[in-house]
Structures are given as structure tokens and as C-alpha cells.
Structure 1
Amino acid sequence: MEQPSPTTRLKLDRLGIALSGMCAVHCVGSILLVGLLGLGGEWLLSPAIHQYGLALAVLIGALTIGAGVWRHGRIGPLVLGGIGLALMVAALMGPHGLGEAMLTIAGVACVAAAHILNLRFHSF
């Protein structure tokens, strides 16, 4: 399997961190807008957004975290990223609401931390 170039991996890790942050903002913002103001429920809480987001997280995570582990040999980012993705999948299985948001935010925090570890290990 051919690995992505170091520059591409670094950019994808940074993209993974940014997407994780945007996901957390989406979760909190959706709860506030829908719960407090009753706005945007059909669009913000659409299962399609969460499914596509998870698919993107898996794709970017597999490319960057997997390639990083292959390069630096440290399994920690892969384990942490896997836990994060599992939490995100668990969030998709339940009903919309606070529990889903908490699982998703915990999951994206783990995935973002895995990308950060990958970036740190890359520099050694």
C-alpha cells in the first residue's frame, strides 16, 4: 500500500482536527438552536449530516492515522481514534438529543486528539 506524502498526511491530520471541531460546534449549536429557539430542526438534526460526517471521519482517520501509525509505529493514535469513531457510531444508533451530542462530542474529541498525537509523533 502506497502511503500519502508527508505533506498530504499533515494536511489531512489538520483537516481531521478542524472537522472534529466543526462537528462539536454543530452538536452544541444544533441543541441550542433547536431546543431553545425551535429553528432548523429538519436540517440540523438530519441523520444524513451525521452519516456523511461519520463517513468522512472514517475516511480521513483511516488515511492519516493509519498512515501515521505505519510510519512512526506508535499504536496510541489508532486506539484513541478507534474509540472516538466507536463513540460516534454509538451516537448515531440512539435518538437525537443530549445523549447523542455528548457521545458525539466525546468521540470527536478522541479523534481530534488522535490526529494531534499523529502530528506530534510525525515530528520525531
Structure 2
Amino acid sequence: MLLLSSSTQRLDRWAMGLSGLCLVHCLATAVFFGMLSAAGSVIGADWIHEAGLGIAMMLGAVALGRGIYSHGFMMPSAVGSLGLGVMAGALTMPHNGTEALYTMVGVTILALGHRLNGLAAD
């Protein structure tokens, strides 16, 4: 049980790190667009947003699911699932800046779920 808990915490830390990188990417892209809009087509490409969110969502779902199996508490997964839902909704939006806002909100909620998951495993 301790090994599974340690593995789940590691996965949660990785997922939180990826969420943080996503947040930094979104903020940096917005700043970069403001300063140098001509280069925005490369960094802000739609496929980067979609692929990154897809990977983050898969990793988040696995970590949250393993947390339920490890410690048995549903609340961290419920909070994290809300974040995953907001992120999934962002994928359906046009790439006009609104989706970045929804992505950042979803990533923040998901990171909170991962944090709660880590606290529940302690």
C-alpha cells in the first residue's frame, strides 16, 4: 500500500508540474503575442494547445484515479474532474484567447485536485 501511495504521489507531482507548465505556456504565449505578434503562429499553434491539453488530461485522470484506489477519498478526484471538464470545454472553443482563459482556470482547478490527492495520501 505504501508503494502505491508513493507512486500515486509521484504521478500527482508530475501532473501538477505539467499543469504548471501549461499555465506558464498560456501566460508566456499571451505576453509573447503582445510583444511580437508575428511569431505567434508558431508558439500559439492550435495543435500545441490541443496536444498539450490532451496529454495533461490523460495524466491527470490516471493520477486522480490511482489516488482513489490508493487512499479511497473521492473529493480530490471530484475537484480534479471539474478541472478536467473545464479543460475539455476549452478544447471545443475557438482559438481567440477565450480558450486560454478557460484552460488556465481548468488547469488551476486540476492542480488543486492533485494537491488534495497528495494530502489525502499522507
| TM-score interval for Structure 1 and Structure 2 normalised by the shorter chain | 0.7 to 0.9
- TM-score, normalized by length of structure 2? 0.87
Quote how far apart the aligned CAs of 1:15 are.
0.7
Deviates more, 1:34-43 or 1:20-29: 34-43
Counterparts of 1:55 and 1:99, CA distance in 2: 18
Percent identical residues: 35
> Does 2:35 match 1:25?
no
Measured after TM superposition, the shift of residue 61 of structure 1 is: 1.5
Aligned mates of 2:80, 2:88 — CA distance in 1: 12
User: Runs of at least 4 residues of structure 1 off by over 3 A?
Assistant: none
Contact 2:67 2:121 in 1 (8 A): yes
Worse-superposed segment, 101-110 or 57-66: 57-66
TM-score, normalised to structure 1's length? 0.86
- Taking the aligned partners of 1:15 and 1:113, their CA distance within structure 2 comes to 13
Report which stretch shifted further, 18-27 or 74-83: 74-83
| Shift, 1:53, TM fit | 1.5
Mark the runs of 5 or more structure 1 residues left unpaired by the alignment.
none
| 1: CA distance, partners of 2:7 / 2:55 | 16
RMSD: 1.7
Kept after mapping to 2: 8 A contact 1:31/1:97: no
- For structure 2, the residue ranges without an aligned partner over 5 or more in a row are none
What is the distance in 2 between the residues matched to 1:89 and 1:40? Answer: 26
**2:61 corresponds to which residue?**
62
Question: Which deviations, in whole Å up to 9, do the C-alpha atoms of 1:16-43 show, x marking residues without a partner?
Answer: 1111111111111111111332143122
Report if aligned partners of 2:5, 2:71 keep a CA contact under 8 Å in 1.
no
Aligned residues: 120
- 1:80-114 per-position Cα deviation (integer Å, ceiling 9, x unaligned): 11111111122121122332121011000011001
Amino acid of the structure 1 residue aligned with 2:40 = G
Aligned runs of 1:52-91 on 2, under 5 Å?
52-91=51-90
